[in-house]
Chains A and B, each alone.
Chain A
């Protein structure tokens, strides 16, 4: 039952991904062709507001609902891991027009072929896990 509360941000996330049109394959093409500010506006607003929120939570030692300190884990530094992984992700993002959040949202639209995209993304995740030790990190 403690997990049920996560339905609130989840439902809101599906609504905002749709109403912002970030789920649109057309919007992703438009973004990578630099023909509209729309997607940059969404991500830019989110980054700036999230940065202010993160700074405030750190400064005032924000607590979770259950009273624990909210922590932000720093990421380990590496160049190849983030650059190569990022390029592979970007190729897939521009191809399918969907990053993982929108993929799930689109299932709710009744876009059934997205289930194949999700299945392939799970297969890709599995392949990464299997090859992890052989890849530069």
Chain B
């Protein structure tokens, strides 16, 4: 097995967690910090939102490092699905696969069927004109952006940076993430797929 084949396998969760912390270390060492969602505020400010709303009136040039970081994640995503493409689709728990099939969402079994990152039934361009899919994509995205800024951070800023710095506010935020996630997963998603 050569290096590329070795890296291309799906990574064990412990390796993944350690690499995330290495990314966080590099950001701190370079003088930044680990938090992805603040880039959305920076993008608003670059777009001129500071003219209407004071929240976007800040020195966004000081946040350019974070945009370089998150923009490079696009390159990383490209490399990870081309040069280091996984030989198999994401291996999802059998119970989850069976549940999703009752919603009409199929889990790829072979790499020819898909890589298992996004369900085609929701995210394929050809399925975009379904009302349900537009709700998931547009409302879902809106809630992520609104909620992340309201809570002052997302998974990277609160769940990893905040919890590791023993911040009680971050624990409250993460509890909130789970309340919202459980409501969506157990009540709203099943409802959206039956109407």
Partner-B contacts on A (CB < 8 A): 3-33, 35-39, 41-51, 53-54, 57, 62, 64-66, 68, 70, 72, 74-79, 81-101, 103-114, 116-130, 132, 135
Contact = CB atoms under 8 A, between A and B. Distances in A.
A31 B185 CA distance: 10
Contacts, number: 490
Interface of B: 7, 10-11, 13-14, 16-32, 36-37, 39-41, 43-44, 47, 49, 52-53, 55-56, 64-66, 68-81, 84, 86, 90, 92-93, 95-96, 99-100, 107, 115-119, 122-125, 128, 136-152, 154-156, 158-170, 172-186, 188-189
A100 B149 contact: no
Contact of A35 (B96, B144, B168, B170): B96
Say whether chain A's binding surface is mostly helix, strand, loop, or mixed: helix
Nearest to B56: A129
A49 B117 CA distance: 26
Contacts of B158: 82, 86
Say whether chain B's binding surface is mostly helix, strand, loop, or mixed: helix
A47 B163 contact: yes
Contacts of B162: 75
Contacts of B64: 3
Nearest to B94: A35
